[in-house]
Amino acid sequence: MDLFRWTIHEASAALRAGRCTPAELMASVNGRIQAVEDKVHAYVSVAGDAAVQQASSLNARNEASPLWGVPIALKDNLATQGMRTTCSSRILEHFRPPYDATVVSRLKGAGAVFSGKTNLDEFAMGSSTETSCMGTTRNPWDPTRIPGGSSGGSAAAVAADACLAALGSDTGGSIRQPASHCGIVGLKPTYGRVSRFGLVAFASSLDQIGPLTKDVIDAAILLKAIAGHDPRDSTSVNVPVPDYPSLLNGEVRDMRIGVPQEYLQVGIQREVREAVRNALDLLAGAGASIREVSLPHTDYAVSAYYILATAEASSNLARYDGVKYGYRAEPVEDLLEMYRRSRAEGFGPEVKRRIMLGTYALSSGYYDAYYRKAQQVRTLIMRDFEAAFDVCDVLLAPTCPTTAFRIGEKVNDPLQMYLSDIYTISVNMAGIPGISIPCGFDDGGLPIGLQVLGKHFDEATVLNAAYAYEQRTDWHRKRPPL
């Protein structure tokens, strides 16, 4: 068997048994990257021989860690000391951070090896990885299709076996949506469960880091490694981190599963609806109790999200002014021209669009009409989920209304692009955890994702419900014919 095809738990068992070394495993992944990267373009930077050297020098004291010697890819908006962190933007094209993100430090401490930095929509603003200044990532199942976004590079790398797992970030579905389109597992933890220190900010009240993996066990392993309180992140919550892998038993008997009626209505692709219905029937057959619930403010989620997210982006991206770091336009005659040209030349069209939308929403005379009203809608969305979880343990829904669309199909229609996140955005607005797992394919052979949502800090139940479905199906074992 090709070593690069292993899951984390398979690789960990082989490494501990001495069936391969970390350097051999990393070399196998490097070979796979070389074989598929020109077809997929998942990476912005490939560690190559440096990763093999890192693997060769691992401290044997960490061998008990399930991540010891395991090649992990990192979305290129996570700070990596001395290694480029570009956010797939020209304005940070040559930026090398002087520190590691907390999640990167924790993975290093667990003995993980980094295969490289993956492509993303510029500053994580997009749903297709087409806004990257580094080029478009392609879906391993069909290179004419998008892989999803903004963590499209991470999802494509995992699906293509160009790493064993990856980290991404999720602001409005940016882990779960590409996981769905690429036929893998993607987990967005509860807001505050994982430190955001070292994550380049898009929308600070919505961003969350999480794993993209080949199965649910690996997602549980990675989440346990990166979760936990961090005093360097003021939004990090100091709550105990369960031993997620040990809690996976696949038992759903008497579990109360809610189905939001708003998520299976007009606009959903026929094969997606059928796959979700089949998943519900399977879990009902395993003893779960299925009931319909309502999330009545779902229709307002997209419009409210794109006010709040762009407002926060407008504030966060003000730091890119050509003065302290990043791209600087030259020659210029004065400071104002440097600001104007550096931003005009450094930011891409989608980032500029969102900065302008956010600045307008926050401007004098419009704050109450837009930003304040969007915050009120956010509260209503949170209350919808709270009411649903009063009668349910988890919610099941499609991850996306359709399977992956063609590259270029929606790039000139921002509204249609934004609507592709309609089932994921509310989860970030409410701050709850959610996971996308494979649940089938459409008539064209493209993957379909099933989304499991849970209560705040109840990732254990979310993971177990997903694991229960996964253990009764073979969708997660399918691989694209690269």
CA 273 to chain centre: 23
| Catalytic residue check, 174 | yes
Token code pair at residue 459:
């990732």
33 close to 43: Cβ distance less than 8 angstroms: yes
Closest alpha carbon to 44 in 178, 130, 135: 135
Q: In sequence order, which residues have a C-beta less than 8 Å from that of residue 378 and are 6 or more positions away? A: 304, 308, 429, 430
Pairing of strands 256-260, 185-188: unpaired
Distance between start and end Cα atoms, the chain? 16
| Catalytic residue check, 75 | yes
Catalytic, out of 128, 174, 342, 436: 174
Catalytic, out of 12, 128, 150, 426: 150
Count each helix (H run) and each strand (E run) in the chain, helices first: 15, 11
- Output b/e per residue, 75-110; b: 16+ Cβ within 10 A: bbbbbbeebbbbbbbbbbbebebeebbbbbbbbbeb
176 close to 234: Cβ distance less than 8 angstroms: no
Q: Is 7 helix (H, G, I), strand (E, B) or coil?
A: coil
Catalytic, out of 12, 28, 75, 88: 75
4 close to 29: Cβ distance less than 8 angstroms: yes
313: left (phi over 0), alpha (psi -120 to 50) or beta: alpha
Name the DSSP class of 43. E
161: left (phi over 0), alpha (psi -120 to 50) or beta: left
210 close to 175: Cβ distance less than 8 angstroms: yes
In 62-218, at which residue ranges do the beta strands (DSSP E only) sit? Answer: 71-75, 113-118, 165-169, 185-188, 209-213
d(CA 387, CA 77) in angstroms, rounded, equals 35
Burial of 17 (0-12, 13-18, 19+ CB in 10 A): exposed
d(CA 109, CA 57) in angstroms, rounded, equals 13
Give the residues across from 210 on adjacent strands: 168
- Output b/e per residue, 204-224; b: 16+ Cβ within 10 A: ebbbbbbbbbbbbbbbbbbbb
Residues annotated as catalytic are 75, 150, 174
